[in-house]
């Protein structure tokens, strides 16, 4: 049985999630990639142990994480049962529903039928009685917003989730959802969206400003732009990169010479700050008002430790911010 590092809480920073009482680590572990059945189970264990040993208490999943869909939850459930069960009350475990999971009209989007069934399946796969945060994973134009929000509120009342969140919502829709959830006395505390130096979408769709206005937390996925904001691409596209092996989320044609030039310039700025490019990219996000934390992905334990290193320097001068914008925009 795994025994956690006794000094694991000394270095990690914990931030309040909006105005709620829940604190999340500045760095959380996302299981979008590398926790499916195509990955090595022992390596998954090592990554979870490394994360927890270094103060990462938050583990983020979704019903469709894999491959195959559902396998990340199932594998994480095995890790919990075999090694980490004694630490359950020191962990924040989140999952989501909103994307396609099973055939027919009831396995997708945001209906009450789908969300209730999906969470029951997720809990069964992970061997849990409840999750700490349950998210609706994306906006659904086909289901009344009130139905989806009422379902989230009822899930909390049922004891199957402690808090709820919204993922991939824009600012306007989130504010409408927040108003409904407030009326329903549902503890909606967090938004999850993509954001990076190369992806400024949350600035444009109003969700970051709305989260601050509504006093909700904001956690960021893909903070390293699917690996572009690391040292992996400084010399071009590696043969074993995700671009070559899985082009679903980052295509080879999108990595132009112009983009590579930007990556190299950002890397030079990071060096001047005494950081790796990845550390600077993560610190840049944490430096923003309204951001609770970042979700990192990893394929090996060493990457987790490297990313946590960004906490040593999360402040930026006005000139550094200007240069990052000048290079990236």
C-alpha to C-alpha distance for 283 and 293, rounded to whole angstroms: 10
Q: Which residue has the tokens 């989007």?
A: 109
CATH number at residue 290: 3.20.20.100
C-alpha to C-alpha distance for 329 and 307, rounded to whole angstroms: 24
C-alpha to C-alpha distance for 257 and 56, rounded to whole angstroms: 36
pLDDT over 60 (residue 118)? yes
50-76 mean pLDDT: 98
C-alpha to C-alpha distance for 53 and 55, rounded to whole angstroms: 6
Query: Is residue 167 included in any domain, yes or no?
Result: yes
pLDDT band at 252 (very low <50, low <70, confident <90, very high): confident
Question: How, if at all, do strands 23-25 and 14-16 pair?
Answer: antiparallel
Query: Is residue 243 included in any domain, yes or no?
Result: yes
Query: What own/partner pairs with CB < 8 Å and gap ≥ 24 does 314-321 have?
Result: 314/283, 314/286, 314/287, 315/287, 316/283, 316/284, 316/287, 320/269, 320/273
C-alpha to C-alpha distance for 219 and 25, rounded to whole angstroms: 10
| pLDDT in the model for residue 243 | 64
Query: Is residue 263 included in any domain, yes or no?
Result: no
Query: Is residue 144 included in any domain, yes or no?
Result: yes
pLDDT band at 211 (very low <50, low <70, confident <90, very high): very high
pLDDT over 80 (residue 249)? no
Q: How many structural domains does the chain have?
A: 1
Q: Calculate the average pLDDT of the chain.
A: 95
Specify whether the CB–CB gap between 18 and 292 falls below 8 A.
yes
2-22 mean pLDDT: 97
Q: Is the bond into 68 cis (omega within 30 degrees of 0)?
A: yes
pLDDT band at 248 (very low <50, low <70, confident <90, very high): low
pLDDT in tens, 218-230: 999 999 999 999 9
Length of the chain: 329
| pLDDT in the model for residue 233 | 84
Distance of CA 244 to the CA centre of its chain: 23
Query: Is residue 264 included in any domain, yes or no?
Result: no
106-127 mean pLDDT: 98
| pLDDT in the model for residue 245 | 56
| pLDDT in the model for residue 235 | 79
pLDDT over 80 (residue 20)? yes
| pLDDT in the model for residue 234 | 85
pLDDT band at 33 (very low <50, low <70, confident <90, very high): very high
Nearest of 63, 48, 53 to residue 3 by alpha carbon: 53
- Show the domain range for 215: 14-255+277-315
pLDDT in tens, 162-209: 999 999 999 999 999 999 999 999 999 999 999 999 999 999 999 999
pLDDT band at 268 (very low <50, low <70, confident <90, very high): very high
Question: Is the whole-model pTM more than 0.85?
Answer: yes
Query: Is residue 270 included in any domain, yes or no?
Result: no
pLDDT over 90 (residue 244)? no
CA distances in angstroms from 152 to 157, 181, 215, 259, listed in the order given:
9, 8, 19, 41
pLDDT over 60 (residue 313)? yes
Query: Is residue 323 included in any domain, yes or no?
Result: no
pLDDT band at 254 (very low <50, low <70, confident <90, very high): confident
Query: Is residue 119 included in any domain, yes or no?
Result: yes
| pLDDT in the model for residue 240 | 64
């Amino acid at each position: 049985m795994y025994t956690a590092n006794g000094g694991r809480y000394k270095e990690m920073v914990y931030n309040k999630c909006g105005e709620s009482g829940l604190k999340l680590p500045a760095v959380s572990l996302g299981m979008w990639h590398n926790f499916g059945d195509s990955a090595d189970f022992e390596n998954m264990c090592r990554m979870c142990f490394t994360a927890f040993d270094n103060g990462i208490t938050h583990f983020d999943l979704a019903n469709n994480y894999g491959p195959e869909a559902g396998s990340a939850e199932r594998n994480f459930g095995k890790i919990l049962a075999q090694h980490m069960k004694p630490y359950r009350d020191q962990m924040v475990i989140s999952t989501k529903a909103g994307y396609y999971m099973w055939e027919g009209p009831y396995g997708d989007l945001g209906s009450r039928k789908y969300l209730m069934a999906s969470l029951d399946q997720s809990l069964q796969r992970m061997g849990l009685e409840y999750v700490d945060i349950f998210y609706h994973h994306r906006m659904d134009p086909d289901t009344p917003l009130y139905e989806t929000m009422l379902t989230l509120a009822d899930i909390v009342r049922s004891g199957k989730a402690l808090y709820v969140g919204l993922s991939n919502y824009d600012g306007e829709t989130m504010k409408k959802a927040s108003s409904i959830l407030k009326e329903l006395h549902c503890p909606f505390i967090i938004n999850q969206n993509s954001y990076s130096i190369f992806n400024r979408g949350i600035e444009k769709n109003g969700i970051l400003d709305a989260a601050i206005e509504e006093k909700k937390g904001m956690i960021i996925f893909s903070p390293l732009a699917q690996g572009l904001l690391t040292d992996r691409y400084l010399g071009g596209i590696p043969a074993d990169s995700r671009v070559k092996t899985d082009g679903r989320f980052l295509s080879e044609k999108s990595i132009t010479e112009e983009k590579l030039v930007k990556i190299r310039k950002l890397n030079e700025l990071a060096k001047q700050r005494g950081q790796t490019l990845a550390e600077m990219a993560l610190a840049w996000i944490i430096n923003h008002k309204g951001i609770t934390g970042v979700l990192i992905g990893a394929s090996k334990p060493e990457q987790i430790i490297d990313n946590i290193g960004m906490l040593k320097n999360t402040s930026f001068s006005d000139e550094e911010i200007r240069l990052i914008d000048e290079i990236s925009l």
